[in-house]
Amino acid sequence: MKNKILDNIKTIIYALIIALIIRTFLFQPFYIPSSSMEPNLLIGDRLFVSKYSYGYSRHSFPFSPGTTKKRLFSNEPERGDVIVFKTPADNRTDYIKRLIGLPGDTIQIKEGELYINKMKVKRNKTNLIQMASCGERDFKVDSYEEELPNGKKYIAIYSKDSNMQNTDLFEVPKKHYFFMGDNRDCSKDSRYLGAVGYVNSNNLVGKAQIIFFSNNKKIGSLLQFWNWNKIIRTDRFLKKIK
């Protein structure tokens, strides 16, 4: 009996070690709590982030130990990647946004349109989405397929009553990146220098790769198993993040 208990404890310990290795070096699950990345990521999406995509920093490890200030096996992210990073404000909170500006870039919104290095980003209006949310508030939006200079395409939405029609000119420092949410008028991102601002390369956690589960919290809780056919978004399972 004693040997069985010890064997079970060993099995649990080994399983925890394997899970920790996978979470630290390969893939980590994340949950989407806000609408800042609508319509591409929805509240209730659960996704896997590849930790190896950009190499490893102290933020790759649990509790972000201050063992190193360098990034090991570093790889440069590509413009347009959807990335999880630690906010510079506290180096603890996880944010997920789209990479818009690389080191040395200038970023600006003028008359409601995005400019990178003083060149207007190509975009085509779509009818994919007409309404979006921001917290408890719903609002009408215009949706566009934007194309970044490297050819990366995605859907971005702008409020019809936007208060972010024009911004300052942002100049991205060396070893830093500029991020924006796809829900442009409901995203605390690099445009807010006091809250997020420019993100150091060491703060990158990983690249968002795939949605493995999703549920609509507005309809009900997962505990309401009798409503799973309405609550669980099966059409989002195993959806690749673009």
Does residue 22 register a pLDDT over 80?
no
Average pLDDT for residues 65-69, to the nearest whole number? 67
pTM equals 0.88
Does residue 95 register a pLDDT over 80?
yes
Half-sphere exposure of 82 (CA within 13 A, CB side): 24
Tens digit of pLDDT for each residue in 180-235?
999 999 999 999 988 899 999 999 999 999 999 999 988 888 888 888 989 999 99
Does residue 91 register a pLDDT over 90?
no
What is the residue extent of each domain of the chain?
A: 2-240
Residue tagged active-site, from 34, 35, 36, 214: 36
Q: Position 82: which residue type? A: V
* 187 classed as catalytic: no
pLDDT of residue 2: 65
Residue tagged active-site, from 97, 143, 159, 187: 97
Does residue 114 register a pLDDT over 90?
yes
Does residue 62 register a pLDDT over 80?
no
* 97 classed as catalytic: yes
pLDDT of residue 92: 87
pLDDT of residue 67: 63
Domain 2-240: CATH superfamily, name plus number: Umud Fragment, subunit A (2.10.109.10)
